[in-house]
Structure 1
Amino acid sequence: MSIKITNELLKRYADNQCTSEEKIYVELWYNKYTQSKQAKVSDVEKLNSINHQIWTGINQGIHRRPNSRFTFLKAAAAITVLVSISFAIYQFNNDANKHTSIAKSNFVSGKVKAQVMVASNSSIVYGNSDVKSMMSELSGTEEMSITTQIGEEYHAVLTDGSEIWLNANSEIVIPANFNETYRDLKLKKGEAYFKVAKDKTKPFRVFAAKTKIEALGTEFNVNYYSGNKGVKAFLIEGSISVSKKDGQSLVKPNQLYEGDDVTGASSITEVEKPETQYAWKTGYFEYSNTPLNEILEDLSRWYNFSFEISPIYKNKTLTGKIARKQPFSEVLAILEFSGIKYRKEGVHLALIP
């Protein structure tokens, strides 16, 4: 079978829609030209044309209406061929000043790690078995705290069989009397996902600021980062009740509870894309018309950087998904594809007009 290199074929390659045979052929074609020391003007023109077409396609995808199927992952897939083509053009022109490359970054993605402290003794843990055994040794008024730093996450199994996942820059406290009358935990800061073992005789209660969240056997996510007005609780399955001084609310699956610690107000809303509320637990960043400032807050806790945003992006929102294990250079490339300009200085990122 004869395969011709066309703009349409390379666009399919960028969208990861090629057959395995076409994929191999495109890569062989690309290697042939990148290894060549000379190239015809027509080759350069073809590559420039293809490069322009794919960039245009990506920009059109990004600026579609909010329910567009274009995602961060699709853009990330296109990055591979765009970088390859841009690099080939650079080789052919032999002119570094005309070469536009995707910015590299020394920002490092996170890892599975936490600090566990009992009284004045602390230790670094990497697995969940350490926490379960340490909990069984608590006595009296002792408490155990599990803390993740920026760029860390952690999963632990508790003595009752319940599981918790801690997001970056989070802290949870477990008392010695956990699993006696109640199964009480305190989320001091950050975000945690709970998968509660069923036990109707011992309610599972999470305290965060002025809010109490109670469950018997369910899965839910609690967000209490410092940038929030108050506690956010999202229910995946089962049921939870959320209590504050002024009343109690029952939350159903796919509903998000949001409290305001300043005004005392609270609300419950249906979430159209539930996975966006706990994507971090499954290894992704996922957003749906999310304000750019919130996205950068989220990313900065994982990649450990500070940032500032030009007022021009005040109302900017993004929709998409990208794996947390991806290097930050891919995140920067996606921002660039979205029409966002930036300047990177060390571990500081500035979004500029």
Structure 2
Amino acid sequence: MNNYQPYFDLGKLIAKYLQKELTEQEQDELEQWLQADEHNQELFKKLTDQTIIDSELETFEANDKNKAWRNIVKKTGFKSPARKKTTIKSWPAYAAAIVILIALGVTLTRYRNASGEQKMAVKPQKDLLPGSNKAILTLADGSKIVLDNAKRGKIANQQNVVITKDQSGELVYQAAETSQNEELPPVEKNVMNTLATPRGGQYQIVLPDGTRVWLNSASSLKYPTAFAGNERRVELNGEAYFEVSKDPNKPFYVKTATQTVTVLGTHFNINSYADEIATKTTLLEGSVRVTGNTNGVMAKLKPGEQAVNTINAIDVKENADIDEAVAWKNGKFLFRNTDLHTIMRQLSRWYDVDVEYQGNVAQKHYRGRISRNVPVSDIFQILKTSGINFTIDGRKIIVRS
């Protein structure tokens, strides 16, 4: 029996979660369990799926609670393989039946008032889907191309460069092919293109020199159609991950509103959103120099370091959290002691929503990892364990204590 005691503890936590009666300590315990394993998050979502609960309660009979909850377990799709010893840190799917029978055996009657009518605390609401690959390309003449609607293949031809959307959907700039005797016109300077992603969008591009850039949501990259002269310069608003092609004779510059990054060839991430309190440059490979645009402060980074530019100063973190900095590029949300407002700003950009706070919402911090390719309600399940409630109203998320 001792081997299965944690199941009963978890059952009580889920029961109290459904009744909105978790203490602060119990919230921490439930959150710790959720963050221990991605499977726990999926299991929790299944066990608290309001649609399944609503459906089963419609046919609920007070004299057969266990049957009702066995039906809910069945609807979640979990099966019960042979038992084996486990720990509270990682919960296998077969624990679902035990958790459900204990947790909801306690709570079923509490969902009914004295007259026996159903009383649900939360109604199902329309979910918000994650972002996808979409962007708008603005050419030098001002014409715009919606890339998510554009067919794969050649899109335009500028400055001896062919612009194509390849089979993977990536935007690629390549030098135009010429015959042996054909002479190309000279490349003009300052013939610029702009790639911009909306909220709920992301995109990848290969620049004329072979540099690859991943552009996060609500971001833009301005760059020349061909890198003429002895340098390569681009301008960034928002967030992007760069893999710069090496060219010792032609340094690469990334200018943002607050700083300029100088590099010969390396991998790094820049987060320069206007609504963040600092611009963060995180280096994965090579070497870069970060220079403040207004104060001239300079910092040189080595791999594994991060420059935090707050306009007045540039602080260098020697052991930066690389995984967290590039999680978005790898299709993940990664929270490591991340405050609620920072998380909501990320959700606002990726799910294309506004965020409204009502009441005195505590500034809690969270730890966890979850895919960016899930509906926003999946992330709410993690955040709700600390007593924060979320309501979706059209394209707005309302946050309440």
Instruction: Please say if residues 239 and 252 of structure 1, whose CA atoms lie closer than 8 Å, have aligned partners that are also in contact.
Output: yes
Instruction: Please say if residues 179 and 202 of structure 1, whose CA atoms lie closer than 8 Å, have aligned partners that are also in contact.
Output: no
Q: Deviations over 1:111-166 (max 9, x none)?
A: 10111111311112247943434886974431000000010000111222211000
- Pairwise mapping of residues 269-284 of structure 1 onto structure 2 (< 5 A)? 269-271=317-319, 273-284=321-332
**Which residue is equivalent to 2:310?**
260
Instruction: Please say if residues 174 and 184 of structure 1, whose CA atoms lie closer than 8 Å, have aligned partners that are also in contact.
Output: yes
Instruction: Please say if residues 129 and 157 of structure 1, whose CA atoms lie closer than 8 Å, have aligned partners that are also in contact.
Output: no
**Which residue is equivalent to 1:116?**
137
Report the CA distance between 1:91 and its aligned residue.
Answer: 4.9
Distance 2:287 2:30 in 1: 37
1:201 is paired with a residue of what secondary structure? Answer: coil
Q: Which amino acid is the alignment partner of residue 110 of structure 1?
A: G
1:90 aligns with 2:66: no
Distance 1:182 1:111 in 2: 33
Instruction: Please say if residues 105 and 328 of structure 1, whose CA atoms lie closer than 8 Å, have aligned partners that are also in contact.
Output: no
Distance 2:229 2:203 in 1: 25
**Which residue is equivalent to 2:376?**
328
Do the aligned partners of residues 135 and 229 (structure 1) sit closer, same or farther apart at CA in structure 2, a change above 3 Å counting? farther
Give the gaps of 5 or more residues in structure 2: 62-111, 153-162, 166-170, 177-184
Mean CA deviation greater in 334-343 or 109-118: 334-343
Report the CA distance between 1:49 and its aligned residue.
Answer: 6.7
Task: Give 1:191's match in structure 2, choosing from 239, 251, 262.
Answer: 239
Instruction: Please say if residues 289 and 318 of structure 1, whose CA atoms lie closer than 8 Å, have aligned partners that are also in contact.
Output: yes
Report the CA distance between 1:236 and its aligned residue.
Answer: 1.4
Report the CA distance between 1:336 and its aligned residue.
Answer: 1.9
Q: Which amino acid is the alignment partner of residue 289 of structure 1?
A: N
**Which residue is equivalent to 1:43?**
none
1:294 aligns with 2:261: no
1:200 is paired with a residue of what secondary structure? Answer: coil
Report the CA distance between 1:321 and its aligned residue.
Answer: 1.3
Distance 2:343 2:205 in 1: 26
- How many residues are treated as equivalent by the alignment? 309
Distance 1:82 1:314 in 2: 24
Q: Which amino acid is the alignment partner of residue 306 of structure 1?
A: D
Structure number, greater radius of gyration: 2
**Which residue is equivalent to 2:266?**
218
Distance 2:297 2:12 in 1: 62
1:316 aligns with 2:354: no
Q: What's the TM-score once normalised by structure 2's chain length?
A: 0.67
Do the aligned partners of residues 178 and 77 (structure 1) sit closer, same or farther apart at CA in structure 2, a change above 3 Å counting? farther
**Which residue is equivalent to 1:52?**
15
Instruction: Please say if residues 163 and 196 of structure 1, whose CA atoms lie closer than 8 Å, have aligned partners that are also in contact.
Output: yes
Distance 1:162 1:139 in 2: 20
1:141 is paired with a residue of what secondary structure? Answer: coil
Q: Which amino acid is the alignment partner of residue 224 of structure 2?
A: P
Report the CA distance between 1:250 and its aligned residue.
Answer: 0.7
Instruction: Please say if residues 103 and 329 of structure 1, whose CA atoms lie closer than 8 Å, have aligned partners that are also in contact.
Output: no
Q: Which amino acid is the alignment partner of residue 324 of structure 1?
A: R
Do the aligned partners of residues 258 and 213 (structure 1) sit closer, same or farther apart at CA in structure 2, a change above 3 Å counting? same
**Which residue is equivalent to 2:200?**
151
2:275 is paired with a residue of what secondary structure? Answer: coil
**Which residue is equivalent to 2:172?**
132
Q: Deviations over 1:97-120 (max 9, x none)?
A: 344568443423111011111131
Mean CA deviation greater in 146-155 or 121-130: 121-130
The structure that is helix-richer by fraction is: 1
Q: Which amino acid is the alignment partner of residue 52 of structure 1?
A: A
1:280 is paired with a residue of what secondary structure? Answer: coil
Report the CA distance between 1:338 and its aligned residue.
Answer: 3.0
Q: Looking at both structures, which has the greater relative contact order when contacts are Cα pairs under 8 Å and sequence separation is at least 6?
A: 1
Instruction: Please say if residues 104 and 329 of structure 1, whose CA atoms lie closer than 8 Å, have aligned partners that are also in contact.
Output: no
**Which residue is equivalent to 1:39?**
none
Distance 1:102 1:134 in 2: 53
Identity %: 26
Distance 1:272 1:222 in 2: 13
Task: Give 2:223's match in structure 1, choosing from 174, 180, 188.
Answer: 174
**Which residue is equivalent to 1:162?**
211
Report the CA distance between 1:186 and its aligned residue.
Answer: 0.5
Q: Which amino acid is the alignment partner of residue 134 of structure 2?
A: K
Q: Which amino acid is the alignment partner of residue 250 of structure 1?
A: K
Do the aligned partners of residues 268 and 179 (structure 1) sit closer, same or farther apart at CA in structure 2, a change above 3 Å counting? farther
Report the CA distance between 1:11 and its aligned residue.
Answer: 5.2
Q: Deviations over 1:248-273 (max 9, x none)?
A: 21112222211123xx2121113453
Distance 2:6 2:362 in 1: 36
Report the CA distance between 1:287 and its aligned residue.
Answer: 1.0
